[in-house]
Structure 1
């Protein structure tokens, strides 16, 4: 990477580090490997070194440091000793009870201690020697320093609820689905998720005709400021907050100017549904907007950014099995809400990274038009439904073992980075 990119990365990391120091209610734990460098990926943070002014990280030097008026406490082998006792507990052939976690949860715990002189080969051997790999959850919660409560594994049974997003996660990587939906570990908030949430809230308020019968720029600014107050603490600093606020302002005003004349067609916003697919699987969802169009309805989904015309968006579920949002929402509207959609539309607030709002409409037609696929038919939707049920069968039967997908990209430079990269024992960097 070049020097400019590196400096930008360091600046962002520094902001996150300072945020952690200033927002902690009681304590901040700064951990590092005893054997440096035990593993290159978990070498001490350069900001931890900065705190010590380049001096060796020792108990004596800790006593000389104050952070925001608070003492720095040095606990040598504190976590390491805890790790050794926890692993002994894991080897014990104790009877399983409600306080015992699964082997998968054990992997998460071991990942937290990997920095203590435990290289990747030893880590793999450590897992292999467990018969069942149990850890006593109560022990984990009672010992100091306290660790967050470990997640409880969910059963994928008759009452398990899917969403189009969780299905997409599974298709990207079964392991990711396991961490996010089976163990129910929430992923970290990314700035893109935060911006998407703000945009959705603003647009939903714009369509509240009872509260705002007339929409203009003054009403928009009122809504923007009201929504923004709830998200002010999500930004690293005032500079980023101003940048993103200007970005959102431009995107939503463009949306109002280009598509405001259709606001009178809004029938429902944020409409929830629960679909019982083939009386076998439960899929829930929330449709951003439903418009009334003559004798039928239009389903509209907002996207912060993206690109693609009709054929690409259709093939995401029809030929490539990547994203089943459109068929899930189609059957959710039809079977759960009792409405017959004739058009599915995506509204991209930032289309193709060109800072312009664009709408892509996909008609749902009975007529089979030859040539480039720009529409779908009810017959196509039935084909896709069969495919979707087959995928859910695989998930329910755990046919993949929730192992990492063969073509999964755990991390790419300036691209997608899996939020479970640091705890996944199958990740490939």
Structure 2
């Protein structure tokens, strides 16, 4: 079977990975649509994404070509400060100590400045003027794709098209320094969505792992097959709306030293659905 027999809800890389991690968590989050509690990692990730997206909208006419690296870093720092302040209400709700907030701000700044360093190296390798290189390297940002055939959707952070070569990239603020199975599934879904819309593969898909650098792989038939297989499997197993069809998968992601799953209390009998 090439496409799902029935589509109960449109999936995403996040929802499929949630189901694979724990079907019961999927049930609470996507079937019952219970609210989830925001955390610093989600908010910080949103802020970093916004800063990176708006980085390519800065006015480069006032940037000194001889000093562009320093000026781009200043621009990125200003963007981070702007978007961090914009999310003050969300950050305040976390009730974190000021020292903790300062730590996450500085860590995010370090990641974004590292990304600017990488971008500046690319500018130099183009052998173009600063302005031409900046425009040449500017990606198509934040594109939404949906496949009605497969019942899957996704946002692509950056589509880089340079001299006929297309690379789809996503920004990640996590500490991981490898293309995990979860990340590979996300990239595979990008391949499927792009191929369905444009009737051709992108050349590469990859991630900006902002704590480490960038990693990309060739977009090929194997990734397309992986996406189809995982999408079909999750549609097949999420037709039911009965909790017993979504078993718990107990493990280290239920509760850990610094936190717990959003649904830990309801899963282990300390809270009821009506309490959400």
Superposition TM-score tier, normalisation by shorter sequence: 0.7 to 0.9
Q: Is it true that 1:222 corresponds to 2:78 in the alignment?
A: yes
Shift of 1:217: 2.7
Change (3 A) 1:193 1:383: closer
* Aligned equivalents of 1:333, 1:257: Cα separation in 2: 29
Q: Does 1:301 align with 2:170?
A: yes
What displacement does 1:338 show? 5.5
Q: 1:299 to 1:162 in 2, by over 3 A?
A: same
Q: How do residues 305-320 of structure 1 correspond to structure 2 at under 5 angstroms?
A: 305-309=174-178, 313=180, 316=181
Q: Deviations over 1:159-204 (max 9, x none)?
A: 6221110111111111100111111112101111111111111111
Structure-1-length-normalised TM-score: 0.50
Structure 2 equivalent of residue 391 of structure 1:
234
**How many residue pairs were aligned?**
240
Partner Cα distance (1:293, 1:217) in 2: 23
List aligned pairs for 1:56-95, cutoff 5 A. Answer: none
> Structure 1 residue 361 and structure 2 residue 230: aligned?
no
Q: Among residues 235, 239, 242, which one is paired with 2:102 in the alignment?
A: 242
Q: Report whether the alignment pairs 1:419 with 2:262.
A: yes
Distance verdict in 2 for CA 1:241–1:380, change over 3 Å: closer
Long gaps (5+) in structure 2: 1-5, 64-70, 124-133, 271-276
Task: Report the 3-state secondary structure (helix = DSSP H, G, I; strand = E; otherwise coil) of the residue aligned with 1:185.
Answer: coil
Q: With CA pairs under 8 Å and 6+ residues apart, which has the higher RCO, 1 or 2?
A: 2
Q: 2:20 aligns with which of 171, 183, 198?
A: 171
Cα distance between partner residues in 2 of 1:389 and 1:162? 10
Paired position in structure 1 for 2:127: none
Q: Which of 276, 285, 288 pairs up with 2:154?
A: 285
Q: Which position in structure 1 is the counterpart of 2:146?
A: 274
Structure-2 separation of matches of 1:426 and 1:329: 38
Q: In 1, Cα distance between the equivalents of 2:102 and 2:75?
A: 20
SS in 2 for 1:382: helix
Q: Secondary structure at the residue paired with 1:161?
A: coil
Give the C-alpha shift of residue 286 in structure 1. Answer: 0.5
Note if 1:402 corresponds to 2:246.
yes
Q: Which residue is 1:324 aligned to?
A: 185
Superposed displacement of residue 392, structure 1: 2.0
The separation in 2 between residues aligned to 1:239 and 1:406, in whole angstroms, is 33
1:193–1:337 distance in 2 versus 1, CA, 3 Å = farther
Q: Distance in 2 between matches of 1:293 and 1:174?
A: 41
Question: Displacement of 1:291 after TM fit?
Answer: 0.2
**Cα separation, 1, equivalents of 2:227 and 2:101:** 42
Q: Secondary structure at the match of 1:162?
A: coil
Q: 1:404–1:413: structure 2 CA closer, same or farther, 3 Å change rule?
A: same
Determine if contact 1:212/1:219 at 8 Å carries over to the other structure.
Answer: no
Between structure 1 and structure 2, the one with the greater Rg is: 1
**Rounded Cα–Cα distance in structure 1 between residues aligned with 2:197 and 2:260:** 35
Shift of 1:206: 0.6
Q: Distance in 2 between matches of 1:383 and 1:191?
A: 31
CA distance in 2, matches of 1:226, 1:379: 41
Once the two structures are TM-superposed, the CA of residue 406 in structure 1 deviates from its matched residue by 5.9
- Cα 1:422/1:208, change in 2 over 3 Å: same
Aligned pairs for 1:45-124 (under 5 A) are none
**Structure 1 residues without counterparts, runs of 5 or longer:** 1-156, 351-356, 365-376
**Residues 334 and 266 of structure 1, relative CA distance in 2, 3 Å threshold:** farther
How does the TM-score come out when normalised to structure 2? 0.76
Question: Contact 2:13–2:185 at 8 Å: present in 1 too?
Answer: yes
Structure with greater helix percent: 2
Q: Distance in 1 between matches of 2:227 and 2:78?
A: 43
Q: Are 1:307 and 1:348, in contact at CA under 8 Å, matched by a contact in 2?
A: yes
Tell me, what secondary structure is at the counterpart of 2:238? helix
